[in-house]
Amino acid sequence: MERLPKPKRQERLAETLRSNPFVTDEELAGDFGVSIQTIRLDRMELGIPEVRERIKQMAAVSQSIVRSLPMDEVIGDVIDLQLDKSGISIMEIGEEHVFSRTGIARGHHIFAQANSLAVALINDEVALTASADIRYLRSVRLGERCVAKGYVKSAPGDKGKAKVEVFTYVGEDLVFQGHFVIYRSGKSADAMRGDSVDANRH
């Protein structure tokens, strides 16, 4: 990208972060052909927080919607959630996730993020993993960011079990995919809304 005048650059920066709020300052600096410090100053002038704070803010909103898991049992930061439809979770790979000798993430952490998202997507107070068909497509390393995208393939009113597909990416690389069957109690969304209305009347 050619160097833009500051007002135009900041306008484009704001547009970029609206469409992709978890892009890093380092990635933005490369895209805009400026220094990381310039991007940070632009963000500050625009009143846009750094990426970790943006993720935290989005996660606070989305995780408050989760019905099937307590907040502290959700693995990764759920930044977008439409119950019984789709969702996105982000997990930064830290020292606690990797083998110390190789810096490669332990597989169960990648699985846990995807499984947690699959369960969190279910609009039910009882949701448990019945089965999972999973594939690891490449190693994930220390410092990389896993973006898991989940999609519910069953109708919201289906009783018994729901099918959920989760695809995890690092950048544009697909690193994990899972097909989950989630047990659900089968209580319909309409019935749950009715319960909520009745409760509010008391």
CA distance 30 to 54: 20
Q: Is the pLDDT of residue 102 over 90?
A: yes
Domains of the chain, by residue range, sit at 6-48, 54-190
Higher pLDDT, residue 68 or 132: 132
Q: What are the tens digits of pLDDT across the range 6-26?
A: 899 999 999 998 888 878 898
pLDDT of residue 135: 97
Q: Which fold has domain 54-190?
A: Thiol Ester Dehydrase; Chain A (3.10.129)
Q: Which residues of 97-122 are buried (b: 16+ CB within 10 A; e: fewer)?
A: bbeeeebebeeebbbebbbbbbbbbb
Confidence of residue 61 (pLDDT cuts 50, 70, 90): low
Architecture of domain 6-48: Orthogonal Bundle (1.10)
Q: Is the pLDDT of residue 186 over 80?
A: no
pLDDT of residue 200: 44
pLDDT of residue 89: 92
pLDDT of residue 109: 96
Residue 56 Cα to chain centre, angstroms: 11
**98 residue type, one letter:** V
Q: Is the pLDDT of residue 87 over 80?
A: yes
Higher pLDDT, residue 56 or 179: 179
CA distance 41 to 39: 5
**Burial class of 173 by CB neighbour count within 10 A (0 to 12, 13 to 18, 19+):** exposed
Whether 54-190 and 6-48 are alike in CATH topology: the answer is no
